[in-house]
Structure 1
Amino acid sequence: MLFVHPLYAEANETDNVGQFHFVDGQGQWQEPALVLESDFDVRISGLIADSRLLRRFRNTSDRWREGVFVFPLPEKASVYGLTMKVGERTIEGKVQPKETARRTYEKAKQAGQHAANVEQQRPNLFTARVANIPPGETVSVELKYQQPVQYQAGVFELTVPTTLTPRYMPGKALSAAPDQWQGGWAVPTTEVPDAVAISPFTVNPGDVADDSHRAVINLVIDSGLPLESVSSPSHRLAT
């Protein structure tokens, strides 16, 4: 999914909860940005969960920057909506072939336009790039997706992923490194040529503010039948 919008026009259109990094002109990752907000609004109807994921970020530097955001989604999620907000501008995404979207994004970035490109690297791993973020400006990315609710032996189960974990990169390292879209801790290999795209750097707790990298998850359950209880094996719930 791709967004492009000119700067001068009015809009008309996980130990880490995701990760967002600024990159320099050569595409190398730099310091993490402050994550202001991460909200999951999940509405469950029977065996379908409809989710709205909203994340806001601020360019804490004094320069115009490009940002890279790597985040997980459920493996069987189906994305159907994507919106980017920069200041007062709202930009709706549209689907394009991957290579076409990359070329359009790079062209818009070089022209000084607001642009974002979101790619699915794996069934449960996505990468978003946001170009030309103004100094001190807030950028929000809203993603809408649906996923099936698992059911077995009288128990309904839903997983909301918030953490990126390191992946095993088999194969031998390639001698020629890619000339663009870099930024991971792993190098391309004979079996994983896109290793740089699926190995984002992690953010240490000491590198972010105390109120950063936090998530709020709200679920509304319409199961269609009485439930005996609602529980989570990992977090306390307020029901």
Structure 2
Amino acid sequence: MKNLYIKILLFLPVFYLAQIPTIETGDGKGGYEKSNQVVLQKLNIETKITGRISTNTVTMVLKNNSDRLREGRVTFPLPEGVNASGYALDINGKLRNAVPVEKEKAKEVYETIKKRNIDPGILEKVEGNSFRTTVYPITANGG
């Protein structure tokens, strides 16, 4: 996996561009901290406008600057009244679309699959109108 691509389909107005995602790195013990080990290498936003609705596809490319596999947690705020309508991870060139499940079931599945070094992809709504996804594994040394 050269780079990890995250694609998120959003219905947003143009002012979404002012929102900044944050990235935290997992410590392997369930805790997260802000660091420069995993960074947002590329952010691409494609917008399609149909009538009064804009559909934005946001692609984030994460880069791991450390010398070991990392887990990253990406949190991004959205304006009030705006929601994520889709989520997918690009794994080895193939998009893996998300399937909606209850929060507890999602955490259980995530931990089970993570043990196999595969990221099932979870997008959850957190405080305010922010969304968070946990990404694992993020390959070492940007590779």
CA–CA separation in structure 2 for the residues paired with 1:86 and 1:19: 21
**1:97 positional shift:** 0.7
- Consecutive unaligned residues in structure 1, runs of 5 or more: 1-6, 8-13, 139-239
Match of 2:58 in 1: 53
Report the TM-score when normalising by structure 1: 0.47
Which digits, 9 at most, give the CA deviation of each residue in 1:155-184, with x for residues without a partner?
xxxxxxxxxxxxxxxxxxxxxxxxxxxxxx
- Aligned AA for 2:26? V
Which digits, 9 at most, give the CA deviation of each residue in 1:46-97, with x for residues without a partner?
2211111111111111111111001012322243221112443432211111
Match of 2:119 in 1: 114
Question: For the pair shown, which has the larger CA radius of gyration, 1 or 2?
Answer: 1
1:77 aligns with 2:89: no
Match of 2:129 in 1: 124
1:41 aligns with 2:46: yes
Change (3 A) 1:28 1:54: same
- Consecutive unaligned residues in structure 2, runs of 5 or more: 2-16
CA–CA separation in structure 1 for the residues paired with 2:94 and 2:67: 21
1:25 corresponds, among 22, 28, 38, to: 28
- Aligned AA for 1:24? D
The structure where strand makes up a greater share of residues is: 2
CA–CA separation in structure 1 for the residues paired with 2:127 and 2:74: 15
CA–CA separation in structure 1 for the residues paired with 2:113 and 2:101: 15
Q: Percent identity?
A: 24
CA–CA separation in structure 1 for the residues paired with 2:95 and 2:140: 18
1:136 aligns with 2:123: no
CA–CA separation in structure 2 for the residues paired with 1:100 and 1:131: 18
Report the TM-score when normalising by structure 2: 0.75
